[in-house]
Amino acid sequence: MTIEHLNIDHVTVEFPTPGGTFRALDDIDLVIEKGEFVSLIGHSGCGKSTVLNVVAGLLQASRGGVVLDGTEVDEPGPDRAVVFQHHSLLPWLTAYQNVELAVKTVFRGAKSKAEMRDWIEHNLRLVHMEHARDKRPGEISGGMKQRVGIARALAMQPKVLLMDEPFGALDALTRAHMQDSLMEIHAELGNTVIMITHDVDEAVLLSDRIVMMTNGPAATIGQILAIGLERPRERVSLAASAQYNHYRAEVLKFLYERQRRPGEAKAEAPAEKTAGESPLPQKSPDLKVVRDKAVA
């Protein structure tokens, strides 16, 4: 019998609320292979962060559970590192020291001082932050802070990297650079990644599979789209690729046609991309904004 790498096994999550039990997730069932890059996409409030929190061990499923390499997940652990939308660096520590803190926690006793130093430097190099190793979070840009957060997560050598809208707060150009770095790192290290995003282009560019969630309450998996684009992927040539645009249209169709909320006016999906457009990632509309517009 082969043991699955990561099994999100029939996960249901209910929250007690003053008005009664609120079922946020209903029977989320997904097996993820080692090294796979999976994106979670869905409208605001559908339950994406809740799924990630269960995998991280920050939240217990009401029914079902998560099994990583044969072991049930019931608490947070260094084998599952989390990167949040807003950096969570300690402001009084330098970039180096922020990474060091995680490395010391995970590798105390296993690596010598010199080995730890090399490992911290190696991870800062991976995210191209070695030049700013001695700067504190207040002295570097938002994109640089996210890089340090990613270095810290990678330095823990997690089996699974969990990312909750990691680039959501960044401008389009920085976001594109971060996506490219993440693709490079993923190609080099082969980590399993689950990333939440609101950006359709980001999801298609980075993922092996896009998991599309239905609207809550009782959100579940509505559709899974396997992205068969060859790697390495290059955003400029993909902009003109019919296959890329097909995937993009599939996700948009799911979000704006199938998962339109009852009673809402049809949200205006962005025009289809045509070949030869800007090489920068087309900024997908923030789904939160689109939905709010539709409600208004």
Ligand X SMILES: Nc1ncnc2c1ncn2[C@@H]1O[C@H](COP(=O)(O)OP(=O)(O)OP(=O)(O)O)[C@@H](O)[C@H]1O
* Nearer residue to ligand X within complex by CB, 85 or 245: 85
Q: Enter the tokens of residue 255.
A: 């979000």
Residue 47 Rama label (left phi>0; alpha psi -120 to 50; beta) = left
The phi-psi region of residue 133 (left if phi > 0; otherwise alpha if psi is between -120 and 50; otherwise beta) is alpha
Give exposure, 186-204, as e/b (b: 16+ Cβ within 10 Å): beeeebbbbbbbbbbbbbb
Which CB atom, from 49 or from 191, has the smaller least distance to Mg ion?
Answer: 49
By CB under 6 A, name the one of 14, 27, 45, 93 that touches ligand X. 45
The window from 47-55, 60-68, 74-82, 249-257 that contacts ligand X (CB under 6 A) reads 47-55
Characterize the bridge pairing of strands 192-196 and 160-164.
Answer: parallel
Q: Residue from 5, 48, 133, 145 that binds ligand X (CB under 6 A)?
A: 48
Q: By CB under 5 A, how many residues form the interface with Mg ion?
A: 1
Is position 15 an interface residue for ligand X (rule: CB under 6 A)? yes
Q: From the list 14, 22, 93, 142, which residue makes contact with ligand X (rule: CB under 6 A)?
A: 22
Residue 24, contacted partner among Mg ion, ligand X, none, CB below 5-8 A by kind: ligand X
Instruction: Report, in Å, the least distance between residue 6 CB and ligand X.
Output: 19
CA angle 224, 225, 228 (to 5 degrees): 145
The 3-state DSSP class for residue 137 equals: helix
Closest approach, Cβ 205 to ligand X, in A, equals 19
Min separation Cβ 199 and ligand X, Å: 12
Restricting to residues 161-220, name those near ligand X by CB under 6 A.
216
Q: Least CB distance from residue 283 to ligand X, whole Å?
A: 17
Taking Cα atoms as reference points, which of 261, 43, 32 lies closest to residue 162? Answer: 32
Tell me: does residue 49 bind Mg ion (CB under 5 A): yes
Spatial distance between the Cα atoms of 149 and 163, rounded to a whole number of angstroms? 10
Backbone φ and ψ of 269, nearest 5°: -75, 145
Residue 53 CB, shortest distance to ligand X, in Å, is 7
Interacting residues with ligand X (CB under 6 A): 15, 17, 22, 24, 42, 44-50, 216
Interacting residues with Mg ion (CB under 5 A): 49
